[in-house]
Structure 1
Amino acid sequence: MDQPDPFGFIGLTYDDVMLLPGHTDVIPSEADTSTRLSRRITVAAPLLSSAMDTVTESRMAIAIARQGGLGVLHRNLSIADQADQVDRVKRSESGMITNPVTTTPNATVAEVDALCGQFRISGLPVVEDDGRLVGIITNRDMRFVSPFEKATTLVRDVMTRAPLITAREGIDPDDAVAIFAQHKIEKLPLIDADGRLRGLITVKDFDKSEMYPSATKDDSGRLRVAAAIGFFGDAWERAMTLIDAGVDALVVDTANGDSAGVIDIIRRLKSDPVASHVDVIGGNVATRSGAQALVDAGADAIKVGVGPGSICTTRVVAGVGVPQVTAVYEASLAAREHGIPVIADGGLQYSGDIAKALVAGADTVMLGSLLAGCDESPGDLVFVNGKQFKKYRGMGSLGALQSRGEKTSYSKDRYFQADVPSDDKLIPEGIEGQVPYRGPLSAVAYQLLGGLRQSMFYTGARTIPELKAKGKFVRITAAGLKESHPHDIQMTVEAPNYSR
């Protein structure tokens, strides 16, 4: 009887393969990069920002959603702080704000000023205790209140009083635009038959819709956002609080998704009526059996990657992992039979790797180091020898695993070390470092999507599904990889989409 090969199959990663060129009648500008993120969410760009505390908070989530992707807020935050991040994204751009921030006639101008600063808005509707709209207060109303008088001046003394220009809830967007143009106002309160405030439309939201036509939005016209949760301790409370805040997808984010705790919480979330409208993404896995376990649990998308990240040391500390192209392919074999999208998480260095991940079986890619150097990432900007860098660390690094007081969460349970009694007993699976500063996310996303469109041109694919169907790999050698990069020359000018 034949014995199984103890060394298994060969694992391949992005540098081991290249896509074959094919006959094309596509030009890059015609390529459609829209794809499925999860069972019920589609995106115009297959880009997700990683749930890392040096990559994705509300600024990054807003920026990448405007470019057609989606941000996943990290969970190295208290529950309240992470929910607040969700709320900031949902309020940043709204077809209609269904729960606008308001004030009362008896509030002080200082209190209004603080709310405007917190939510980055220029004014508030003024309502009575029963919800009746009685006025509005904006920067224009507060302009002539001196800093010394703000704490004692009441809203009722400076607000613009009713009657105001208003509309009924459910107004057609085109009619709202006509009201803005006719009356030259910036905020349009929506009221019911009894004069109670039911919503708010701002002219800035229409401007943003024109500026970002591919933005990832929900049915109410608000930017979409996802957030990471664990499976241990406060995970259920965190999930329910994030759902209350308006999150669009929950990512059960662990180093090994093929585990009992992850499977249990996915099943619980999918069977809970409160969570039924929110897609649940499970991860991370790197095998067909791991992906199948998450599919069977009811996951709406599968996140793939064990150890491919530039700051991850799992493969050398634990000796465990699967090179990413093979991992994505194996996971897709289980997911595609059930129509479940796959997210390739980690290991991407260049825009061409996105197309390789998609052909291997992914539907979207999750980016960490490629986005950590952007303006919108929360990492600190540092100067080294006259060059700008941003701090970047793995969520398995010692700094991310260590506790930092009662209000801040940390990543111990992501790496299944929640029972470790003290920080000096932790086993890190990541490092801390820095990446080159890359400028605004919009510029980085433009280059990444431009590279993907070039891939689609070379392979003759007009859409992502066509790319997945037509794309073919050729395995390359170390000499082939060397030939693929610029060689036999000293580079004097870096391109915006290439560096060594």
Structure 2
Amino acid sequence: MSKYTDKLTKAEDTFTFDDFLIKPGLSSIEPKDVTLGTKVSTNYNLNIPVVSSAMDTVTESQMAVALARQGGLGVIHRNMTIEQEVQEVRKVKYANELTVKEVITISPDETVAQAQEIMDIEGVSGLPVVTDEDIVVGIISRRDIKPLRGKAADKKVSEAMTHNVVTISEDTDTETALDLAYENKVERLPVVSDDKKLVGIVTMKDILERKKYPNAVRDKNGRYIVAAACGPFDTDRAMALSDAGVDIIAIDSAHGHKTDIIKSAKEMNKNIESDLLLGNIATRKAAEDILKAEIDGIKVGIGPGSICTTRIVAGVGVPQLSAVSSVADVAEDYGVPVIADGGLRYSGDVAKALAVGANAVMVGSILAGTTESPGEMTIRNGRKYKQYRGMGSLGAMTGGVGAGKDRYFQTSGSNMNSTKLVPEGIEGVVPYKGPAEQIVFQLMGGLKSSMGYVGAKSIKEMHEKAELVHITPNGMSESHPHDITITNESPNYHPRS
């Protein structure tokens, strides 16, 4: 037999989501009993297994904040300058920070008129009053000033301020702070050190915001967890992101199983404090090789995304369910989490990815078109749409800083025009879907339902208990609604196109 014929006869069978269903089993678990906590990297856990794609029509700071509030993780795209990406990370880190450290204050010797002017300019309703040594001696608010009206504008702040200030220490928890604020009918609580020096301030608004999202994922300082993308050889960007406090850096490459990328990842790891994810890969051999770089997580997926054309343009890839399972077989022995990146359309696909060993899923098209995704809204035939494009699309390669070019190893001179690029993605629009929170709720609701059918109370149990059955195309056709015209759209189902 010819060696070329052997390539066909010995080729392994591989599968994707529509090729399997999860087998129901004996269960005492209800969806409400399920916990969805998971490891996304060596040092970070999530409360739900959802990560957003590092795409310029999916994730910037707004999406990262929205996901962190729900217990997931946003990966900020890199199709922008280093400074811009750092700024996006900082926006996430300082969003809903309980203790605001940069506090606008006033001296007791300044005038009421000056206090009023500062409040108007800064858009605040009160100011802590501190001495030259930063000792808190009072607080002055619009409520203190209002009775004085204009006639006492030259009065000193010390004469108008509230002297008995309710303060809290740095280790005061949210519940205690809220109780104190309610008890004393105050809107802000200065945070002071042991020697009564001002450290920051906590407002009622921030406390209530914190309570609104009990499932949010936060770092050791109480800030939202966030990730950001970086080119495989862009150590300067990685170091800047790490210095800005990003928790996880995701090396963003269409083909992570390359000797120079593995070598670069090892060097990058030495220069950053953040955890490091490496990808994308799709085979057992790739997992074995890249794990030598001592990375903290693996992204799996070569060409499964709805806007990716790699499998057609390059003829390369591995169907996603087989890719995830083969990588997970290796990564589990190293204790390194696996993220299934791409190819998911329904919540059932999330369940299948976890069933074959993924610790989390990375989604793009599912979150594209939400309120928090970047991009302008357009209206077509009376319906709202938002732009969605692959990072290998011509627009992504030529727009922003052209991150798509080096992601797909197509570096070029500044005068290289678009006809000299070979895109591996497309551009389009998706229907507007509303807030990301609603999408995540439906995704996780479907996953909990799946785990209830399996009898798995946790993702670890899902790994252990889930069994799959191989189905035919007819089996998948039977799985979808059929022999009916859908008149009312469901929030968690859309017909196959």
Do the structures match in fold with TM over 0.5? yes
3-state SS of the aligned residue for 1:434? strand
Identity of aligned residues (%): 46
Q: CA deviation at 1:458?
A: 1.2
Q: Taking structure 1 as reference, are residues 439 and 92 closer, same or farther at Cα in structure 2, changes over 3 Å only?
A: same
Give 2:20's match in structure 1, choosing from 17, 21, 27: 17
Secondary structure at the aligned position of 1:481 is classed as helix
Change (3 A) 1:130 1:415: farther
Query: Secondary structure in 2 aligned to 1:37?
Result: strand
Give the C-alpha shift of residue 402 in structure 1: 0.7
Query: What is the CA–CA distance in structure 1 between the aligned matches of 2:417 and 2:333, rounded to whole Å?
Result: 43
For 1:52 and 1:21, locate their aligned partners in 2 and report how far apart those are by CA, in whole Å.
Answer: 35
Which residue of structure 2 aligns with residue 100 of structure 1?
102
Query: Quick check: 1:14–1:324 contact (8 Å CA) kept in 2?
Result: yes
Structure 1: tracts of 5 or more residues without a match: 145-155
Equivalent residue letter for 2:45: T
Q: How does 1:81-160 map to 2 (within 5 A)?
A: 81-97=84-100, 99-100=101-102, 102=104
**What does residue 239 of structure 1 align with?**
238
**Secondary structure in structure 1 of the residue aligned to 2:385:** strand
Change in 2 beyond 3 A, CA 1:32/1:193: closer
Q: How does 1:405-416 map to 2 (within 5 A)?
A: 408=401, 410-416=403-409
Compared CA separation, residues 384 and 466, structure 1 to 2 (3 A): same
Q: Output one character per residue of 1:272-299: Cα deviation in whole Å (capped at 9) or x when no partner.
A: 3xx33x2111111111122222211011
| Superposed displacement of residue 9, structure 1 | 0.9
Report the CA distance shift for 1:438/1:137 in structure 2 as closer, same or farther (over 3 A): farther
Cα drift, residue 268 of structure 1? 2.2
How far does residue 194 in structure 1 lie from its aligned partner after superposition? 5.5
Query: How far apart in 1 are the matches of 2:268 and 2:130?
Result: 37
Separation in 2, partners of 1:336, 1:494: 39
Q: Aligned partner of 2:216: which letter?
A: A
- The question of whether the paired residues in 1 share the 8 Å contact of 2:138 and 2:164 is answered with yes
Contact kept, 8 Å, 1:112 with 1:124, in 2: the verdict is yes
Q: 2:434 aligns with which of 431, 439, 447?
A: 439
Quick one: distance in 1 between partners of 2:145 and 2:302? 54
Which residue matches 2:251? Answer: 252
Paired residue type of 2:91: R
Q: Conserved in 1, the CA contact under 8 Å of 2:37 and 2:47?
A: yes
For residues 487 and 460 of structure 1, the distance between their equivalents in structure 2, rounded to whole angstroms, comes to 28
Structure 1 position 221, deviation (Å): 1.9
What SS class does the counterpart of residue 325 from structure 1 fall into?
helix
Q: Is the CA contact 1:61–1:89 (under 8 Å) kept in the aligned structure 2?
A: yes
- Does the C-alpha gap of structure 1 residues 122 and 351 become closer, same or farther in structure 2, counting only changes over 3 Å? farther
- Check conservation: 1:262, 1:282, Cα contact below 8 A: no
Alpha-carbon spacing, 1:300–1:101, altered in 2? closer, same or farther (3 Å)? farther
What is the TM-score when the length of structure 1 is the normalising length?
A: 0.86
Counterpart code for 1:28? P
Distance 1:200 1:453 in 2: 39
Structure whose alpha-carbon radius of gyration is higher: 2
More deviation in 348-357 or 3-12?
3-12
Tell me the SS of whatever aligns to 2:344.
Answer: coil
The one-character-per-residue Cα deviations of 1:80-118 (angstroms, maximum 9, x if unpaired) are 221121112122223434x436478899999987876xx
Match for residue 324 of structure 2?
328
- CA–CA separation in structure 2 for the residues paired with 1:219 and 1:255: 32
Kept after mapping to 2: 8 A contact 1:133/1:162: no
- AA aligned to 2:302 is V
| Residue pair 1:459, 1:467 contacting (<8 A) in 2 also | yes
Whether the 8 Å contact between 2:54 and 2:228 is mirrored in structure 1 is yes
2:185 is matched with which residue?
A: 184
Helix, strand or coil: the match of 2:7? coil
State yes or no: 1:74 paired with 2:77.
yes
Q: Aligned to 2:403, what secondary structure does the other structure show?
A: coil
Distance in structure 1 (CA, Å) of the matches to 2:423 and 2:474 = 34
2:284 is aligned with 1:288: yes
What is the CA distance between 1:218 and its match in structure 2? Answer: 1.4
Alpha-carbon distance, 1:43 to partner: 1.1
26, 31, 37: which one pairs with 1:34?
Answer: 37
Q: 1:143: how far off? A: 10
Distance 2:494 2:257 in 1: 36
Which residue of structure 1 aligns with residue 210 of structure 2? 209
What's the CA shift string for 1:358-396, capped at 9, x where partnerless? 112101001100011211111221111111211111111
